Amino acid sequence: MKDITKKYTNGEVTIVWKPATCIHSTLCWKGATGLIDVFNPAEKPWIKPEGSTTEKIVEQISKCPSGALSFYYNTDENLPEHTASECIVETTPNGPLMVYGNITVKLHNGEETQKHKATAFCRCGASSNKPYCDGSHRKIGFEG
């Protein structure tokens, strides 16, 4: 999958979306805790930052388990958000291996990439975006 990055702003905050990192958890938009006025996959563009306050947008983005959604305040000069904590590894039921914190991922071709906040790694083996999770575990009924 291409490494695409899309940005949407309300003037105060910029939402950064990396589709290749998304595991389609639906936490951003679905259910009682979703923010459907901003994140609505039934519409194009699916992210509309003018749909809510900056505070609510930032709060919702912090729930993204894969880190596909991130943000920066427009006064931050477009610096990526860094996590100032130790690295934590968590196995999610029937889902990806989540790694929280600042890490370096060395890919099979020797390329290294920096990841911040949360990174979802494939545990089921079916991802087409290895080593990262792409949500394929749902399609194949992975249990583990």
CATH architecture of 88-140: 3-Layer(aba) Sandwich (3.40)
User: Considering the domain 6-76 in this protein, what is its CATH number?
Assistant: 3.30.70
Helices (H), 1-144: 54-61, 136-140
Name which of 127, 120, 132, 18 is nearest 65 in CA terms: 120
Residue 89: C-alpha distances to residues 28, 50, 96 (Å): 22, 34, 11
Q: Is this model's pTM higher than 0.85 or not?
A: no
Compute the distance between CA of residue 65 and CA of residue 95 in angstroms, rounded to an integer.
11
Alpha carbon 71 to its chain centroid, in Å, reads: 10
Segments making up each domain of the chain, as ranges: 6-76, 88-140
| pLDDT tens for each residue of 11-62 | 999 999 999 889 899 999 999 999 999 999 999 999 999 999 999 999 999 8
Q: What is the mean pLDDT of residues 65-91?
A: 75
Q: Say whether 60 sits in a helix, a strand or coil.
A: helix
